[in-house]
Amino acid sequence: MRIFLTGGAGYIGSHTLLEVLSHDHEVCVYDDFSNSAPEALARVSHLTNRSFDTVEGDILDRNGIKQALVDFRPDVVVHFAGKKAVGESMAEPLMYYRNNVDGTLSLLEGMNAAGCSRIVFSSSATVYGEPEYLPYDEAHPRAPTNPYGMTKYMVELILNDWCSANAQNTAVLLRYFNPVGAHDSGEIGEDPDDIPNNLMPFVSQVAVGRREKLQVFGDDYDTADGTGVRDYIHVVDLAKAHAAAIGYAETHYGCEAINVGAGQGSSVLEVVRAFEAASGQPVPYEVVARRSGDIAAFYADPAKAKNLLGWQTERGLADMCKSAWNWQRKNPQGYKG
C-alpha cells in the first residue's frame, strides 16, 4: 500500500516509519521539522535499507499538503503532525487550535481532493480527563482538561463526522497512553528540544549526566508508593499498533477509537528504579509539590485493540528503560550530538 505520514520524522512517526517500511509499503513523509530532525529520516533509511519520499511542508499550508497528497495518491494517511506540550497549550491555546485542528482540516480537504478515504490518527488518552473509573475503556466520557487535550478531542469529533458523511471513509483513532523507549538499534529515539516535560526523557538525561536530578511531582497520591501511576508503552509496540491499524483501515469503514496501552501502570519511583537497573547509573531525585493538572493514576483497558487489531504490548518496563538508555548513551545530545 501507499502510506502518507504527516510528522513522520518525529518520535512516534520515525518508529512507525521504520515499522511500515519493513512491511514493504511505499511511503511519503510530510514534515516541517519544527520538532524533529531530518537526521531521523536518514537513520531510518539506513536501518531499513529503503528509500521513501520526503516533502518538507507545514500542515497549515493548505495548497502544499493538497499538492503532496495529489502527487503521492496514498491509500492510507497516518496523521502524527501536531503540537503536544500541555503547558505550552495552556499559555498559547490559539496556536494549538490553529495547528492541530485547522491542520487536520487542511489534511482532510487534501485527502478528499486526492481520493484518499482512510486515516489513522494520533489521539491520546488525555481525551478522557479525570477518571470516572479505571481502567479507561473507549466508552469512558471524554472531558479533556487542557487545550492540547481539547484539540485531540475536537479532531476525533471531526473525523467522526467525516466518516458519517461518506460511507467509504475510515478513521482509526489511536488513543495513546504514555509512549517511551526507543528502537533497539539506539539510532532513533525521543529528542526533546528543550527541557523535557515528560518523565522518561528527563530520567534518561539525569542518568547520562545532562541534568542534575529528577523532581518527583508529589509522593502523596492515593497510589501504592504515593507517586503518580501511568500506563507506559514501548514506542516499538506503539509503532506495531499503527501497522495493525493500517491493515484494519484497509478492510473496514467508519470511525473507531482504540486504546493503545499495556493495561497496567507503573509509578514514578518504579520507573526510576527500573531505569537505574537498566542503565547501571544512579538517578538522583527529590520529591517536590504535585504538578498542577496531574492525575494520580490512569491506565488502559486494552481489550478492544486485541479484538479489533490483533495487537497487544510485548515489551515491559525493563525493555523500555534499556532501549531509552541505549539511545541516550549513544546520542547524549540527541540528533545534534
Residue positions annotated with a catalytic role: 148
- Contact with ligand UD1 (CB under 6 A) among 117, 123, 124, 169: 124
288: helix, strand or coil: strand
Stretch that binds ligand UD1, among 11-19, 132-140, 208-216, 273-281 (CB under 6 A): 208-216
DSSP helix, strand, coil percent of the chain (3-state; round to 5): 45, 20, 40
261 makes contact with ligand UD1 (CB under 6 A): no
Q: Where are the beta strands (DSSP E) in 239-314?
A: 254-260, 266-267, 285-288
Distance CA 117, CA 102 (A): 19
Report, in Å, the least distance between residue 323 CB and ligand UD1. Answer: 16
Of these, 291, 306, 330, 336, which contacts ligand UD1 (CB under 6 A)?
291
Closest among 54, 59, 73, 69 to 14, alpha carbons compared: 54
Which residue, 69 or 216, is less far from ligand UD1 as judged by CB? 216
Task: Quote the least distance from Cβ 164 to ligand UD1, whole Å.
Answer: 27
Residue with cell 490512569: 298
Judged by CB under 6 A, the residue of 83, 230, 240, 322 near ligand UD1 is: 230
Our measurement of the distance from residue 281's CA atom to the centroid of its chain's CA atoms, rounded to an integer in Å, reads 27
**According to CB under 6 A, which one of 65, 116, 257, 268 is a site residue for ligand UD1?**
268
293 binds ligand UD1 (CB under 6 A): yes
- Closest residue by Cα to residue 115 from 52, 86, 72, 178: 72
Q: State yes or no: residue 309 binds ligand UD1 (CB under 6 A).
A: no
Contact string 171-190 vs ligand UD1 (x = CB under 6 A): -------x------------
Which amino acid, 175?
Answer: R
Selected binder of ligand UD1 within 106, 126, 169, 170 (CB under 6 A): 126
Rank residues 227 and 326 by Cβ distance to ligand UD1 and give the closer one: 227
Q: What residue type is assigned to position 95 of the chain?
A: M
Please identify, among the stretches 61-69, 113-121, 214-222, 253-261, the one whose residues bind ligand UD1 according to the rule CB under 6 A: 214-222
Distance separating alpha carbons of residues 139 and 321, to the nearest angstrom: 31
- Judged by CB under 6 A, the residue of 21, 55, 59, 86 near ligand UD1 is 86
Work out which of 45, 160, 185, 198 binds ligand UD1, going by CB under 6 A. Answer: 198
Residue 153 vs residues 19, 142, 144, 215, 282: alpha-carbon distances, Å? 27, 8, 7, 30, 39
Helix axes 62-72, 103-114, angle to 10 degrees: 30
| C-alpha grid cell, residue 145 | 482538561
Q: Is 216 in the site for ligand UD1 (CB under 6 A)?
A: yes
- Please tell me whether residue 199 binds ligand UD1 under the rule CB under 6 A: yes
Rule CB under 6 A: which residues touch ligand UD1?
86, 124, 126, 149, 178, 197-199, 202, 214-217, 228, 230, 268, 291, 293-294
